[in-house]
Amino acid sequence: MRSSTRVPLAVAAIAAASMVVACSAASPDTSTSQADDVALRMTIWSANPDHVAVFEKLGATFAEQNPRVKSVKIESFNLAELDTLVTTQISAGDAPDVSWLPVESSAEYIKAGALMDLHDTIEATDGFDMDDFIPSLLERWEVDDAVYGIPFSTGPLIMYYNKDLYKQAGVKDPGQLIAEGNWNWDAFRQTSKELKDSLSIPGYALNDFDFKNWTRLLPYLNAYGASPWSDDATKCTIDSSDAVDALSVLHGMTFDDGSMPVPGQQVDFWGGGVAATSAFLGSAANLGDVSFDWGIAPTPAGPAGNVVATGQASIVAFAAGNHTKEATEFVTFLGSKDAMAEYSGFFPPIRESVLTPEVLTQNSDVLTPEAVIPIIEGVKDNGKVFPVTESNAAVADALNSSLDEFFYQPGVDIEQALASVCKNVGPLLP
């Protein structure tokens, strides 16, 4: 009898103690919008302590400078959950004040009026120097005079290659092709096939692609002057002849040459499983762990030149936030020269004055200023940020799944396949 009461008591005691733990960690209520007591909330998709620290420090500096703002809290989440979190939080009237936002979502959020216009605040800030921003890279966030976000990370897709594997196969590596002025998709396709025949491992793989992420196809598309949709994003153009040419290279390399992995196959460049990969500049951090001799280069050129496909993410202020004025000020602050210099060691910046080899490589153990010079030039001169549409989530979804269904299959007629893709995607464009 006694033992049967002792157990419930123990449980209750533990429960009570746990309640204390739970309550003590609960954050204080921050929804009061008293003019001099604002606590801002910024959401980022990195839990890397260095990244969090940099933004926390900037937040603290801003709170000191701004009489109305008491504090800035940085919260980390996984990028895959972005939509879930934004949706639930805005629905509940509890939106973050400031957030990172990928460029893929820019048009959608801007059209919906979900982002605050930073223009006036920027104008009112002395020494902001808007001209320092590389204009071609700001396009996605500007509508006429309005500025809806400050790009904090503008990373090009570049080519990484494994020099040892090329040497082992006796095949010319990208560095050598560049030296002889022959750095284009045809030549690269050839050498990749030679390498695969010689070593029986893939010659090239798209990093972070997995046949689910169409933006990784942009190096092909850009090189041939193609794009999934027209510039005004109203018409599907992935069935254009340029696109057909561009994507035929990919299809051929995967299903005919066998020099690229097939759907579902996982290969890892960093582990030495494939000779070359295209990935963001930021992935260079992985080079520290590798056990082979590596090189980097811009992605191959094509008939349309060597346009550099560039991903981007910006800092924005949500219109649904509870402290939009202070949020706008904070975002502007984060776009200033000094602030940008602080985090540009981690993320490629958009300010020309900061986009230097030294800054870009200051936190890198592996990249040397010399190595990144061609990359930087490529971005400045030929950088093209990913194309986006207003209903980007739906369009990207349809694009990915119809490519999967019609195009990423062996032995298909490419023109027909891409026409089918357009049939699915076209109706979703405005």
Partner 1 sequence: MSRSDALRSRTLRRIPMYVLLSVIALLFIGPVLWMVSGSFKSIGEILQYPPKIFPEVIRWENYAQVFSLQPFGRQILNSAVLMVLICSLTLLLAIPAGYALARVRPVGAAIFFLILLSGVFIPPEAVIIPLFRAAADIGWVDTFYPLVIFTSVLSTGPVAMFIMRQAFLTLPAEFEEAATIDGSSRTRTMVQIFLPLVRPSIASAVVFTAWFSWNQFLEPLVYLRSQAMLTVPVALTLFEDPLAGPRWNVQMAATTLSILPVLIVFLLAQKHVVSGLTAGGLKS
Partner 2 sequence: MMTTQQRAAATSAPGILRAPKRGSSRRTPRSGRSPLHSGRNLFGFALLAPQTLGMLVVGIVAIGGVVQLSLTRVNVLAGTREFVGVDNYTRIFGDPNMAVVLSNTFFFVVVLSIGGTVLSLALALLLNQKLVGINIFRAAIFIPALVTTVAWTLVWGFILQPGGLLDGIVGLVGAGPVPWLRGEWLTLAVFAFIQLTKNVGINMMIFLAALQAVPQELLDAAHVDGAGRWTRFRHVVLPQISSSIIMVFMLMVSGSFKVFELVLLLTNGGPGVQTSVLAFEIYRQAFRLNDIGYASALSVFLFVLVIALIGLIWQFRKRMVFHESE
Of the residues 38, 54, 74, 86, which one makes contact with partner 2 according to CB under 8 A: 86
Q: Does 266 bind partner 1 (CB under 8 A)?
A: yes
- Which is closer to partner 2, CB of 44 or CB of 319? 319
Return the range that interacts with partner 2 (CB under 8 A); candidates 126-134, 165-173, 263-271, 361-369.
263-271
Q: Which helix (H) or strand (E) holds 153?
A: strand 150-162
Count of positions on this chain that bind partner 2 (CB under 8 A): 27
Find the shortest distance in angstroms from Cβ 397 to partner 2.
6
Return the range that interacts with partner 2 (CB under 8 A); candidates 109-117, 132-140, 226-234, 239-247.
109-117
- Which is closer to partner 1, CB of 27 or CB of 411? 27
Find the shortest distance in angstroms from Cβ 113 to partner 2.
6
Q: Does 28 bind partner 2 (CB under 8 A)?
A: no
Q: Does 9 bind partner 1 (CB under 8 A)?
A: no
Give CA–CA dist 299/127, Å, rounded: 36
CA nearest neighbour of 73 among 84, 63, 83, 82: 63
Q: Does 412 bind partner 2 (CB under 8 A)?
A: no
Q: Does 84 bind partner 1 (CB under 8 A)?
A: yes
Region 202-241 residues binding partner 1, contact defined as CB under 8 A? 207-208
Give CA–CA dist 233/390, Å, rounded: 8
SS3 332: helix
Q: Does 405 bind partner 2 (CB under 8 A)?
A: yes
Q: What is the CA radius of gyration of the chain?
A: 24
- Which is closer to partner 2, CB of 258 or CB of 345? 258
Give CA–CA dist 196/205, Å, rounded: 12
Q: Does 256 bind partner 2 (CB under 8 A)?
A: no
SS3 321: coil
Q: Does 273 bind partner 1 (CB under 8 A)?
A: yes
Beta pairing partners, 150: 315
140 Cβ contact list (under 8 Å, min separation 6): 103, 106, 107, 312, 385, 388
Q: Does 259 bind partner 2 (CB under 8 A)?
A: no
Return the range that interacts with partner 1 (CB under 8 A); candidates 24-32, 59-67, 134-142, 175-183.
24-32
Beta pairing partners, 385: 310
Of the residues 397, 412, 419, 426, which one makes contact with partner 2 according to CB under 8 A: 397
- Annotate each residue in 278-307 with x if it binds partner 1 (CB under 8 A) or - if it does not, as one string: --xxxx-xx--xxx----------------
- Which is closer to partner 2, CB of 32 or CB of 84? 84
Give CA–CA dist 7/1, Å, rounded: 11
Return the range that interacts with partner 2 (CB under 8 A); candidates 38-46, 126-134, 354-362, 389-397.
389-397
SS3 134: coil
Beta pairing partners, 72: 40
Give CA–CA dist 264/273, Å, rounded: 15
Question: Tokens 């346009």 — which residue?
Answer: 307
CA nearest neighbour of 166 among 205, 197, 189, 195: 195
Q: Are 157 and 299 in contact (CB under 8 A)?
A: yes
Count of positions on this chain that bind partner 1 (CB under 8 A): 61
The identity of residue 256, as a single letter, is D
* 404 contact choice in partner 2, partner 1, none (CB below 5 to 8 Å, kind-dependent): partner 2
Q: Does 32 bind partner 1 (CB under 8 A)?
A: no
Q: Are 386 and 103 in contact (CB under 8 A)?
A: yes
3-class secondary structure for 64-103?
Answer: HHCCCEEEEEEEECCHHHHHHHHHHHHHCCCCCCEEEEEH
Region 199-218 residues binding partner 2, contact defined as CB under 8 A? 212
Give CA–CA dist 85/87, Å, rounded: 5
Region 316-335 residues binding partner 2, contact defined as CB under 8 A? 319-320
List interacting residues with partner 2 (CB under 8 A). 83-84, 86-87, 90-91, 108-109, 112-114, 212, 262-266, 319-320, 393-394, 397, 400-402, 404-405
List interacting residues with partner 1 (CB under 8 A). 1, 4, 11-12, 14-15, 18-19, 21-23, 25-27, 29, 31, 45-49, 51, 73, 75-81, 84-85, 87-89, 91-94, 153, 155, 207-208, 266-268, 270-273, 280-283, 285-286, 289-291, 346-347
